Amino acid sequence: MAKTTTKNAKKPAAKPAAKPAGKATKPAAKASSASAKSATKAAAKSAGKASLKSARKAVAKSAKKPALTLSMLKPSVNNMSVRVFARAAGLDHSETDVWGHTRSPEYMARNPAHLTPMIEDKGLPRGVLWESCAIMQYLANKHGLEKLYPKAPAKRAMIDSAMFYLIGTLYPYVARATYPALNFPQYAGEVGHSDAHPDKKAEAQKAAIEAIAEPLEVFHSFFRNGKPFIGGKNPSIADIRLAATLEFLAAIDYVLPQWAKEYMSAIEKKLGKAYAEPAADVRGYIAHVKSQAAA
């Protein structure tokens, strides 16, 4: 697994597209070192043998800097999805914690939606990309990660369907159910965001909690359909997205069905540290808000 460098945005990185926010601590992944070799050769050919040494040095230096940077918030499961994915895929990348900076003029200039996760990657038409599922799809396409995102159209369609269903149906219920406990602001137009009486807010939260069971069962019976994961024998990007989402339910002590508990353990077992490391940030935040609520 390629190492991940995490740094805090002391001030919102002003021009991170031109200057990667973090430093790689491990040489770039295989594909990168392969292209580094040919770049060295090309540089040496055009510059002559005398400058081979300096060409090597220059390429080695640039190969150490991951071209991929991820702006993220540690307590978020939307972010956790991409953080798990990048680690599971072994992508050389750096992370910048942008807590408190997403609405800064600098961040908004790059990302008018002020959202995380957001990646910056060479070749993106606007230099940046947000939306967790789109990021995983793009990076899986770019790096040919077929194990995480199958190429066959019919298989891929099922992964896409599961992710759209999650973002469009399950996640809004999870957000309405858990955001009050997580101290996250709710979306405009929702009861939880309004001046409604606390009883009304509690009623809306209860309704959302009750609504979770149905889509959850759909993931189990329809998308998994007897297989260990939505992706089959191995977790796909849809599985990463689903398991991360379910992490938030601990904030309200939601009792998951047995299959979901086993499913989450199976993903963590398969992905190991790639899952456990970002999950620890989410779990740590949940433990923190719970301890505050209990105090």
Ligand X SMILES: N[C@@H](CCC(=O)N[C@@H](CS)C(=O)NCC(=O)O)C(=O)O
- Selected from 7, 56, 114, 283, the binder of ligand X by CB under 6 A is 114
By C-alpha distance, which of 134, 115, 133 is closest to 124?
134
Give the separation between CA 176 and CA 186, rounded to whole angstroms. 7
The residue written with tokens 């009050």 in the block is 180
**Binding to ligand X by residue 102, rule CB under 6 A?**
yes
Sites for ligand X among residues 206-265 (CB under 6 A): none
Enumerate long-range contacts of 182-186, CB under 8 Å, 24 or more apart: 182/75, 182/248, 182/251, 182/285, 182/286, 182/289, 183/289
Contact between 268 and ligand X (CB under 6 A)? no
Cα angle 217, 178, 258; round to 5 = 35
**Binding segment (CB under 6 A) for ligand X, from list 33-41, 110-118, 139-147, 151-159:** 110-118
- Shorter beta-carbon distance to ligand X: residue 112 or 123: 112
Compute the least distance from the CB of residue 258 to ligand X, in Å. 27
Q: Is 128 in the site for ligand X (CB under 6 A)?
A: no
In terms of CB distance, is 114 or 270 closer to ligand X?
114
As measured in angstroms, the least distance from the Cβ of 184 to ligand X is 7
- The nearest distance, CB 163 to ligand X, in angstroms, is 9
Q: Are 94 and 24 in contact (CB under 8 A)?
A: yes
Query: End-to-end alpha-carbon separation of the chain, Å?
Result: 40
- Minimum distance, C-beta of residue 91 to ligand X, in the bound complex (Å): 17
Where do contacts with ligand X occur on this chain (CB under 6 A)? 73, 76, 78, 102-103, 114-117, 131-132, 167
